[in-house]
A = this chain, B = another copy of it.
């Protein structure tokens, strides 16, 4: 960029910023009830009233613990960045836990059937796209752990998302048919020391995307373990789960760039 162009951009940005100069973040949140058959789900919708008008929308899918404060916090961080964010519920109202056995049970109930898994995930995308503040041509999904696998399932189902971002997701390899469905660009944040995901799985995941010519990028963070984006990762008493501040900061930054790229 030439300096002339930079200064024009900066001048515009400055004027806009001055307009908002007195405005701090005005994050609003809303519980949204929806149903998947007989199962009542409750998601957490959020946006920032400091911004005006329609904006891109982003689905946030929780870790295997269920829709908890961590997922809601990530959605609110996205709201502050200028997006509408919808932290979906993949388990059912109030179903979140700190116990690994319970989390595993709920997760496996969903993942056991791909159609169920995809259908419930897509319900959340649908709600987001229909929201008055969302520019439905510009939507994406991010997910953590089980949520990272879930956003891949959205892509495998051919969801109309510009991009999906998996943070220490379990990287389910796509079947050939699934890979062909993918419309979204894919960004994966993966810890090199993530003991939950064998190297063969990572390789198979990548190979399936390559075979279908998908636009994808995987960032491997050296030394980072499973759950590396969650400051509370170490408190669950599960070996192999640990926070990594550097990987967290870098992956969140990369995600922001990626969102800027896919939404331009």
A215 to B2, CA, bound (A): 34
Oligomer copy total: 2
Tell me whether A197 is interfacial, beta carbon within 8 Å: no
Question: Most chain-B CB neighbours within 10 Å: which of A220, A250, A253?
Answer: A220
Residue of B nearest to A223 (CB): B210
A128 to chain B: closest CB distance in Å?
A: 25
Known: A17-B10, A192-B210. A217 touches B250 (CB 8 A): yes
Tell me whether A254 is interfacial, beta carbon within 8 Å: yes
Residue of B nearest to A186 (CB): B222
Task: Give the size range of A's interface with the partner.
Answer: 35 or more
Tell whether, in the assembled complex, residue A217 and residue B222 are in contact, meaning their CB atoms are under 8 Å apart.
yes
Tell me whether A32 is interfacial, beta carbon within 8 Å: no
Tell me whether A237 is interfacial, beta carbon within 8 Å: no
Interface membership of chain A positions 218-236, coded 1 if the CB is closer than 8 angstroms to chain B and 0 otherwise: 1111110000000000000
Tell whether, in the assembled complex, residue A7 and residue B18 are in contact, meaning their CB atoms are under 8 Å apart.
yes
Residue of B nearest to A213 (CB): B223
Q: Give me the 3 closest cross-chain CB pairs, A-B, nearest first.
A: A216-B222, A7-B17, A10-B14
By a beta-carbon cutoff of 8 Å, the part of chain A in contact with chain B is 2-4, 6-7, 10-11, 13-14, 17-18, 20-21, 23-25, 50, 186, 192-193, 199, 203, 206, 209-210, 213-223, 246, 250, 253-254, 257
6 further A-B contacts with Cβ under 8 Å, apart from A3-B24, A193-B210, A218-B220, are A3-B50, A6-B17, A192-B210, A199-B203, A215-B246, A257-B257
